[in-house]
Structure formats: structure tokens, C-alpha cells
Amino acid sequence: MTLEKINASQWRLTITMPAIPADGGDGGTTLPGGGVAVPGTGTGDGTTPGGGVVFTGGDVVDPGTGDPWHPEFIFYSLTLTATDNGTPPRTTLQKLNIQTTRGSSAWTISTEHKSLPPEFPNFPSERRFCSKNITSSLLNNPDIINDLSDDDRTILNATKALVDGFMASDEPVASKPSVDFTAMRQTLEAALDPEVTIPKRTLRRINMQDIIRRGDMCDRIMAGPKFPQPMYEPLRDISQDLLLPGLEKVPPNTSSLLKTNSRFIESYMVGLNHEFSRELLWREYPTDQRGSYFRQFWDVAELVPTQLELDTLLENFLIQYSITRVADLPQNVKENILKRYRDRVGDYTQLTDQERDDVVTELLHEELLEEHYKDIKEIHTWRGSKLGVNKHRPGEDLVLIIRGDLLKRYPNTVIYAVEAVPTNNGDDSVQPNMPEFTGNNDPGLIKRPIFKGSLPPDVYFLGFDMSEQQAWGCDGSGWYFVLEERISEPRFGLDVPSDMILDDWNDLGWHHFGLGTAFESYLTSTAPSNHVSGSFDTSDWNLNSSSSTISNIVLQKPVRIFIHAKQMLPVEEEEAYFEFKQDDSEDTFVIKLVDPDKIRQARNMLKGIETGNKGITGIIVKEKAAYNPDWSYHLDPDSIDFFETAMEVCDAHMSYVEEHLDEVGGAFLPGNRWCPWGSGLTRELTGEE
């Protein structure tokens, strides 16, 4: 068998079969010249090239000597099937065998299909081909059917009836699959999920050494510089929105509570250390680029530790040496501590043992406290942990934020938190656990801020080592945040004008001298007489009064404000109901929200605080809800969200959805997802509605 290229679109296949015997016995030569030719310019005798595919088969083969004869017809079909993906066309060779025993009416017809390897024939990959099969029309050629014997003609007729079916292409008819929009959306969302795509993209760009990836515990990190500066400040100086997004929505002269975002802090600090490692390498500093040069995000310079906290840190440090006293520390450990602070300690060799132990204790307190309040662990110890779990101190941090003129006018205000206790009045009221409130001599637990900061010009924040749940109080007590004027900064003056009757010098105001709001005159030695209680003695205010007496009268006592955390934390409501309209229609639709974040977002949208994502979207449930009685369907509360733009495939008017509710979930609103364009909240429904 040979394959020869004729031109750019034609090929010749030649198959050579055994010759027919000279004497055919009862029959004769099956085909004149022993060949079948595709009609063209050739003669069909297998010797002259024809215009197409040439077969020199179809012979009657004599299996041996004597009778009976076993005629066998063999037809071949070469199929060249085109492809659409640029690969070489698939080539299939089909063979049809028709056998019988001469003089018998029993016929045996069989086929063979053989897929040839890609390299046969080695067609150019850019060439497209069509199928070329033998059909019954080819067998009607007069050159073939003339001069046939009866037996040969019977075989030929049977072949013509069966050849189309046997020689048909085995390629299945291509069908267009239906489009599943829900599956398409889920696939796109999964493929575009930033929690999947960003780590994959990042990991492809990072080529970490095996030893770093393994985190060898015995491998030491090269020494590098350490920076104690709080790194929130350069971030704040770039943009305050990077530190506190939405700051512009905080009203003036207000206070609130926030939570720190550990994942953001850790990612920022990792990037900072990474870039500094590159800078060290660029400047030829000896480094393995694994140091943790920046570990302080918040400003802890004004931290005031308790003695209990210092003793606990020192005790944990001594445990590693299996001792309980600094005096029992190995001598070399003491020496190393003293050497690190030689500039401060001076010649420590002149100190007595007790003095040396006292200095070492003080230095250890300082070192351990500084290390304890680092914001992140050393980065090489993170290993395979995720962002948000590498905080150096356990627990959450709650941040008290104050915006307004208070701290600008009184920058030295003392701020702390004090534990609240029940009042035992038979109700749920609480009071600060302080002697002046409880009458107990033992003061309650007090927490000082562990870090402070500011966002110019009028925002101040203080971090406290407590969780939101602790601040709220599991038993209804919780914590008070206290703003206290320093008693070491006395002020002298009178109260602002009011209608208060003077019966105590502490309440003395400008209006008691008849000055009202004008303040157009100096105070004189004349005693106050306006709005003064008849029983109150004002004789201490006279010309002969000493300066100390007058100073004591006008001394403004320090002010202390208590704000319970409950007043600043959001109330976790179980559910809320909102009404929305669509476009200019008067129809209304009621939704139920159960997510506290979504409830707050909806209320902010109604107040105009949040201007984006005005549309409402959710999954349709084909049942009437009691809170949405005008419609035969409602939105699943857990699926409701707000959008700014959405695909048209989920848009429909609420009345149209009602009329075609049976079709929802199919081609109409696939997946039951409804996102009505032009929808917007109009109001929140109260419990009475």
C-alpha cells in the first residue's frame, strides 16, 4: 500500500492484492483488470493514475487447489477527518470483507476499522481535509458491472446495499450542550476568588529556599538592626484612610469603640520587613534576609505596667532556668545583660551582688515588657501559619476612638477603663467598681491603655487589652471607660451661665453676679446676689477676703466622665425588616435581615451615610411570608445582599416575577437569584407594622 500526494488537495492511495488465478473454474475473473477505480481520468486498471483515490483490490482469491472455491471481495475506504484544534487530521482505514462458498447461498460480511498512527500520513498541520468514503454510487460504474458473472453480480448487489452503512464515518454528530448559567456563575466565582487566585499568583513568584520552607529549628538567623519606632505613623502620614477607612463618617465630638485588624497589621509588617531586607541586600549589608527588623506597629511609649504584670513576666523568664530568683541566674547570663546596657549602668564591676541583682532585675523588667508588647512574633517563626494568628500577645485589642475638641483643649486628660459591678438595686443597673461609688475600701480592677495614637487634627485613639465580649460584660456588668481631668492641673473660674440656684460655692456661675452671657465687666468684691438661695452664706466673698479664700471659691474641681462600653458598642439585633421599591413603581416589597452587619448597612443607606450598593438582591423562595403578604414569594434572609451593578439575567420587576413564578429557577432567573434593577430601600418597618 502506498500513498502519493497529487496536488494541494488530492492524494492517491494504492493497495496491491494477490493476483487472481488464470483459470477461475466455475466462475471467472470477478472484475475486469482486477481493480476498482474512482471515476476520474484513469482507466481503473491500477496502472494509470486516476483523479482521486485508486483501489487495486476486490479480487477473488484462490485459497488452494481443488473445489470448492471461496470467493472473497475486499473493499477499502480511507477517511481523512478534519480537526478544529490545529492538530493533524485523524486517519481511519476501513476494510469490508464479503465471503461465500461458491454454490452456497450463505454469505459472510464483516468489517474492520483501523485508526492509523498520526504520522501516517504525515499531513501538514495547517491543511484541512474532508472525509472521502466509498459509496454504492461508485460501484454503479459501467466499467465495474459489465461482464460480471451471476455470482459476482450477486456479491456486488449485496455490497451496494450494505457499503454505505459499513463505510460511514464513525464520527458522532456534534451537539450543542445547553448553557447552565448557575454552574457558570459558580465556576467563575470559584475561579476568581481572591483567596485562591492571589495566593497562587504570589506563590508562583516566590522561590523560597528549602531550609526556609522547612523552618529548621537549628538554623540561626543572622543579626540585623532593630527599630522600636511605631510603624503606624508612616502609614498614617501616607493616608489616614489606610489606617482607619471611613474616618470622615465619624461625627465630631463623639467617642466609639473599634477592634484592631490583626491580618492587616501582619501583612503590612511582613511587607515592611521584606522591603527592608531587600534594601540591606542592595547596600551589601551582611544579611540572610530573614530578620524581623520592624515588630512594633502601635505606640506603646506611654504604657504603664502593673507590678503584677512585671512580676509575671519575670517569673516566666526565670522558669526556663528552673529558678525563681534573679540572684540564682547563671553568672554569664547576668554579665550579658549588664553588657548590653553598659552605657547606662557604667562600671558594674564596682557594684555589690545585691546591687547587681537589683540592676539586672530592673533591666529584665524593661526588656521583657518591651518584648511582650511587640505587635508581631518574629517572622521566621510564623512558618505555615495564616495571617491574623501571629500576634505576639494573646487576645484581642479594643480601641477607644475620640473625635472632637476635648483632647485638643485638655491634652493631658487621663483615660483608663474600670470594671463595672451591679448596683444591687433590684434592676440591671451597674456602677463603677470604685470606693466613691461602692463604699468599699478595695478599688476594682483598672486597665490602662497599652497604646495610644492620633490622626490629626482632632482624632485620638487608645488601645485596651480586652475583647468586645469583655467590654460588654457576660453578666451584664462589663467595663466603663473613664476620662479624668488631672488634679495636678488646677483651673480657676466660674461656671457658664445657667438657671442654677447658688447654694454651694462649687456651683458659682457668671449669672450669679448678674453678668449673664455678656461678660462685659470684671468681678468686684460685691457678693453674688442673683439666683442665690436665701439660706446660703455669701459673706466669704468680700473686699477683706484673702486670696486663698477667693481661690478656693473659684477653683474648678477636676471632672471625671464614665462611659459604659454598651453605649458605644452596636446592639446585636436578631432581625430587622425593610421595605423597598423598584424604579417609579408604587409596589413595595418587604425583606427580612438577620445579619447584624447587613442591618447596620441598611440603616446607614437610609441615613445617607453609605451611598453605594443601593440595589437589593437575594434568592427567591416560592412561598408567601407573613411579613411580605402582598406577594406569593419572598427572599431568603440569609442570601440578601446589596449591589451597585448586576447582570441583566437576574433582573425583573416584582410584579412580573409574581406572574411567572412557576418559571423562576429555569431560563428565567436561573438559580432563583433575583436582582431587581432600580430597587432601593425606602424605610425600616417597626414591630407594629
DSSP 472-537: H-TTS--EEEEEE--TTS-EE--BPP-S--BSSGGG-BGGGGT-TTT--S---SSPP-TTB-TT--
Q: Are 270 and 263 in contact (CB under 8 A)?
A: no
Domain-embedded: residue 119: yes
Per-residue pLDDT band at 584 (split at 50, 70, 90): confident
Question: Do 261 and 157 lie in a common domain?
Answer: no
Indicate the DSSP class of residue 164: H
Q: Chain-wide mean pLDDT for the chain?
A: 76
Provide the pLDDT confidence category of residue 687 given band limits of 50, 70 and 90.
low
Q: What integer pLDDT is reported at residue 216 of this predicted model?
A: 52
Same domain as 253, residue 149: no
> 134 pLDDT band (50/70/90 cuts)?
very low
How many CA atoms lie less than 13 Å away from 249 in the CB half-sphere?
11
Cα(337)–Cα(224) distance, rounded to whole angstroms? 19
99: alpha, beta or left, given left = phi > 0 and alpha = psi -120 to 50?
beta
Per-residue pLDDT tens digits for 287-314 = 888 889 999 999 999 888 888 889 999 9
C-alpha distances in Å from residue 419, one per residue of 17, 368, 446 = 106, 27, 7
For residue 564, what pLDDT is reported? 92
Boundary of a domain, candidates 381, 411, 435:
381
**pLDDT tens sequence across 80-112:** 444 445 455 555 555 555 554 544 444 455 555
Question: Quick check: is 41 in a domain?
Answer: yes
Is the pLDDT at 657 greater than 90, yes or no? yes
Amino acid 103: pLDDT: 46
Does 200 reside within a domain?
no
Pick the last residue of a domain from 318, 353, 381.
381
- Could you tell me if residue 455 is inside a domain? no
Q: Is residue 425 part of a domain?
A: no
Phi-psi region for residue 401, left (φ > 0), alpha (ψ -120 to 50) or beta?
A: beta
| SS3 readout for 16-63 | ECCCCCCCCCCCCCCCHHHCEECCCCCCCCCCCCCCCCEEECCCCCCC
User: Residue 142: its pLDDT value, please?
Assistant: 63
Q: Is the pLDDT of residue 22 over 60?
A: no
More confident residue, 291 or 136: 291
Q: What is the pLDDT of residue 130?
A: 34
50 and 129: one domain?
A: yes
Same domain, 147 and 260: no
> For residue 247, what pLDDT is reported?
87
| CA dihedral (617, 618, 622, 624) positive or negative | negative
* Same-domain status, 137 and 254: no
Does the residue 417 lie in any domain? no
Quick one: DSSP state of residue 671?
T
Burial classification of residue 282, based on how many CB atoms lie within 10 Å of its CB (0-12 exposed, 13-18 middle, 19 or more buried) = exposed
349 versus 230: the higher-pLDDT residue is 230
Q: What mean pLDDT comes out for the span 31-60?
A: 33
At 283, which amino acid appears? Answer: R
For residue 243, is it within any domain?
A: yes
8 A C-beta contact, residue 558 and residue 487: yes
Same domain, 341 and 249: yes
Residue 126 has what pLDDT?
A: 35
Higher pLDDT, 256 or 53: 256
pLDDT digits (tens, 9 = 90+) for 42-56: 333 333 333 333 333
User: pLDDT value at position 180?
Assistant: 82
At 387-445, the pLDDT tens digits run 888 988 877 789 999 999 999 988 999 999 999 988 877 677 888 988 888 888 877 88
When mean pLDDT is compared across 122-126, 197-201, 590-594, the lowest value belongs to 122-126
Q: What is the pTM of this model?
A: 0.53
For range 66-78, the mean pLDDT: 47
130 and 241, same structural domain? no
- Tell me the three state secondary structure of residue 419: strand
- Same domain flag for 143 and 238: no
Where is average pLDDT lowest: 65-74, 117-126, 225-234, 645-654?
Answer: 117-126
Mean pLDDT of the 228-249 span: 91
Q: Within this chain, do residues 240 and 331 fall inside the same structural domain, yes or no?
A: yes
Question: How would residue 349 be classed by pLDDT, with cut points 50, 70 and 90?
Answer: confident
Question: End of a domain among 133, 151, 167?
Answer: 167
pLDDT at site 476: 61
Band (pLDDT 50/70/90 cuts) for residue 131 is very low
**What's the chain's length in residues?**
689
Backbone angles phi, psi at 143, to 5 degrees: -65, -20
Q: Does residue 631 contact residue 654 with C-beta atoms inside 8 Å?
A: yes
Judge whether 602 lies within some domain.
yes
Highest mean pLDDT among 170-179, 346-355, 358-367, 593-602: 358-367
More confident residue, 610 or 471: 471
Q: Which three cell numbers stand for residue 120?
A: 501516517
Residues 150 and 15 grouped into a single domain:
yes
**Residue of 587, 579, 592 lying closest to 659 (CA atoms):** 587
- Domain limits at 377? 232-381
**pLDDT tens by residue, 500-531:** 899 999 899 888 888 765 556 778 888 988 88
Q: Which pLDDT belongs to residue 29?
A: 30
Task: Provide the percentage of residues in the chain whose pLDDT is more than 70.
Answer: 70
Residues 13 and 162 occupy one common structural domain:
yes
Are 305 and 159 part of one and the same domain?
Answer: no
Q: What is the count of structural domains for the chain?
A: 3
Q: Write out pLDDT tens, residues 139-197.
A: 566 655 666 666 556 656 665 655 544 444 444 555 667 778 888 888 888 888 888 88
Out of 328-337, 413-422, 467-476, 529-538, least confident range: 467-476
